[in-house]
Structure 1
Amino acid sequence: MLSENDYPIFLGSEIEQPKPEDALFHIIPIPYEETVSYGGGTGKGPAAILEASWQLETFDNFSNPCDLGIYTHSPVSVSGPAEEVMDNIASATKEVLTLGKMPVGIGGEHSVTWGIIKGLLDAGETDFGVVQIDAHADLRDRYEGHKHSHASVMRLVVEAGVPLFQLGIRAFCEEEVQARKDHNVDYLDAHQLVPNNVQEFELPQNFPKKVFFTLDIDGMDPSVFPSTGTPVPGGLGWYQTLNLFESVARQREIIGFDILEFAPIEGFHAYDFAAAQLMYKLMGIIQRNR
C-alpha cells in the first residue's frame, strides 16, 4: 500500500494505512541530506527502509507491534534553508503529539533530530531527556560552517536545556569533551560498553522520566551496518543495541524515537531489511514495556 504521494507505507504488504487517530506509532520520513561530510546517500534512507519493511513479518518473535497501529506520513519537505526544514520537521512532530501519539523519525542525516526535539518543545513537552546511540558525540558548536550540522545536533539539544545521555560514542574532539562537561552530559562510551559486552545500564536517578531515543545507524558496528556515511569500527552489535534500548524502555517512558544516517548500498538489500527490522523491533520493545 502506498501513501498519498506514492511513498510506501511501513509494512504495507501486511497492514492497511489506519486513521491517524487509531495508530500509536507515527512514522515521519525525513529525506534530508545537506551537511554530510563523508559518504552520502542518507536522503535515500527513508524510502529504502519503508520499501524493505514490506518483507517483514508482523510477529517480531515476541509480539505484534502493528497491533498498536502504525501510520506512515508523507515525507517532510526538505527544500529550502536548514532553519525552514527544521521548522517543517517540528510542525510534523507537533501534529503527531497533538493527537497524543508517538513520533518515529526516519532520516536522513542526524541534523533532523533537532527538528523533532523542537517539535516536542513547541508542543509543550519540557520535562524529557534524550538518549543517543551514535559513533559520534555531535556536540560541536558548528561543523564546516553549519550550525545545523549532523555533527552539531546534540549541541543544539543540550543548549535548549534538554538532558542528554550518550551511548557507544567513539569519535569526538576536545571541544566535545568540554561540551560534555559544560552541559553535564552523561555517557557510556564504546570502550566501556563493547569490550565488556554491557547489555543494560542504569540512567541517573535525576534523569527525566520521559525519553526521546535517537539512534544513529553508525552507532552500530560497520560489520552490522556498513550502510552509513561515517562508519567507525568498534561499535555496538545487533543484540546489544536492542538490549540497551530495552534497558531504557524498562526504566523510563519512551515518547518517540528516530533512526538516522542510513545510506542504502545499491544491490545490498540485506541492510535495507535490517534497518526496517530494527525499527520494528524498537516498536515491539516499546509495546511490551508500556
Structure 2
Amino acid sequence: MFDPVDVPFMGAKKEHELPDADVVIFGAPHGTPYRDIDNTPYAAAPDSLRAALAEDSQWLDHWDFDLDGPLLNDGPCRVADAGNLRTSFQDGAGNRSLIETATSEILKAGAVPVMIGGDDSTPIPFIKALEPLGPLTIIQIDAHIDWRDERRGEPLGFSSTMRRASEMDHVKQIVQVGIRGLGSARRTEVEIARDWGATIIPARELHRNDIETVMQHLTPASSCMITIDCDGLDSSIMPAVMAPTPGGLTYYQTVDLIAAVSRTCNLVAFDMIEFVPTRDSTGTSALTAARILANVIGCLARR
C-alpha cells in the first residue's frame, strides 16, 4: 500500500520500526482527477515537505519557541511516517480506496492520522474513514468553500470536498476559515452551504477578530479534524499553490488556531493539501508548510 521514504518527516520513525505509534504521517500524492485537468503537480508535495525539515530533524531535543519546548515535549509521543500511498494520477476510485483503507487502519491501531496530499479531493476519503470518531467537526482553512455538487461531471473532485463531507452522517459541523477572493462557488453553492449550517468565516473577519472568531463556534472536548488547503495561507508566505490569493492567514494565525483547537477540542485527524512544489522557487513555501505540520505534531504530543 505504501512506498517507504528514505527520510521520514521531522525525525519520525519509519512505520515498520514503530508499529505502535501515537501519530502516523502518510503521503497521498493523487486524488480524484478531473477530465482535462492535470493533478500531478501536487504529487511531489509529501516528499518536498519532508525534505524541508530534514536538517531540523537532527535537533529534536532543541527548544522550539513556537511550542515552548522540544517538538515532542520530552514525552512519550511516538510518531511514525508510513511513506506515500501508491496512488495513480488517473485512478480516482483506486486512490480513494487507498486513502480510506490506510486511514482506517491507522485509526484501528489507535493512532492519529496525518495526511499530506495531493489535491483537495484527497480529504474526501480521508474524512469518510473518520466515521468511527464521529460526531465530527471539520475546520477547513481554505480560500474556497468547495461546495460544488460536480465539476466537469465529477462529483468527487477538489471543488466538491465540503459538499461531499456534508453528506456524511458523522460530520455534524463544518467551520470554513479564510474564505476570500474568487473561486468555483456560485450563489447556489454559497446558499446550499449556509442552509446546511456551515459556518463561513471570511479572511477579513479573521483578521479583524483573530482566532476567537473561529473558537467561539467550537464545542469544548468535541472531536475535530483540521484540513488545510495551502491556498488558505496568504500568498506572500505561500505562493506555491495553483490559486494564490492575497489576504489569507498568516503563519502565526494558522499555528495559533491549531494550538487552540488542540487545547480546547479533541484533534483526531489532520491533513494538508494543495501544495505545488514546482511553484516554490526559493523553498520557503515548503519550509512554511512543513513548520505548520511540525506544530501539529507538537500539539498532539502535548495533549
TM-score (norm 2): 0.85
CA distance in structure 1 between the aligned counterparts of 2:40 and 2:282, rounded to whole angstroms: 16
* 1:100 shift after superposition: 0.6
What is the identity percentage for the equivalent residue pairs of Structure 1 and Structure 2? Answer: 28
State which of 130, 134, 150 in structure 2 corresponds to 1:142: 150
In the alignment, which residue of structure 1 is the partner of 2:55?
A: 55
* 1:224 shift after superposition: 0.8
* 1:23 shift after superposition: 2.2
2:24–2:112 contact (8 Å) kept in structure 1: yes
Residue 158 (1) aligns with residue 166 (2): yes
* 1:45 shift after superposition: 0.6
Unpaired runs of 5+ residues, structure 1, are none
Kindly report which structure 2 residues correspond to 1:105-120, keeping only aligned pairs within 5 A, or say none: 105-120=115-130
Unpaired runs of 5+ residues, structure 2, are none
Q: Could you tell me which amino acid in structure 2 is paired with residue 44 of structure 1?
A: A
Using the TM superposition, name which of 243-252 and 57-66 deviates more: 57-66
Matched length: 282
Residue 28 (1) aligns with residue 26 (2): yes
In the alignment, which residue of structure 2 is the partner of 1:64?
A: 70
CA distance in structure 2 between the aligned counterparts of 1:207 and 1:144, rounded to whole angstroms: 40
In the alignment, which residue of structure 2 is the partner of 1:276?
A: 290
CA distance in structure 1 between the aligned counterparts of 2:243 and 2:236, rounded to whole angstroms: 13
2:226–2:271 contact (8 Å) kept in structure 1: yes
CA distance in structure 2 between the aligned counterparts of 1:110 and 1:90, rounded to whole angstroms: 15
Q: Could you tell me which amino acid in structure 2 is paired with residue 222 of structure 1?
A: S
1:128–1:211 contact (8 Å) kept in structure 2: yes
Q: What RMSD in Å do the two structures reach over aligned CA positions?
A: 2.4
Q: 1:230 to 1:208 in 2, by over 3 A?
A: farther
* 1:287 shift after superposition: 2.7
Q: Could you tell me which amino acid in structure 2 is paired with residue 159 of structure 1?
A: E
2:175–2:199 contact (8 Å) kept in structure 1: yes
Residue 17 (1) aligns with residue 14 (2): yes
TM-score (norm 1): 0.88
In the alignment, which residue of structure 2 is the partner of 1:187?
A: 200
Counterpart secondary structure, 1:54: coil
* 1:65 shift after superposition: 3.3
* 1:40 shift after superposition: 6.5
The answer to which structure has the higher strand fraction is 2
Q: Could you tell me which amino acid in structure 1 is paired with residue 10 of structure 2?
A: L
State which of 89, 103, 106 in structure 1 corresponds to 2:113: 103
Residue 199 (1) aligns with residue 227 (2): no
Counterpart secondary structure, 2:190: helix
Kindly report which structure 2 residues correspond to 1:232-271, keeping only aligned pairs within 5 A, or say none: 232-264=245-277, 265=279, 267-271=281-285
* 1:83 shift after superposition: 2.4
Q: Could you tell me which amino acid in structure 1 is paired with residue 105 of structure 2?
A: E
Using the TM superposition, name which of 255-264 and 79-88 deviates more: 79-88
Q: Could you tell me which amino acid in structure 1 is paired with residue 9 of structure 2?
A: F
CA distance in structure 1 between the aligned counterparts of 2:286 and 2:195, rounded to whole angstroms: 38
Q: 1:189 to 1:266 in 2, by over 3 A?
A: closer
Residue 87 (1) aligns with residue 97 (2): yes
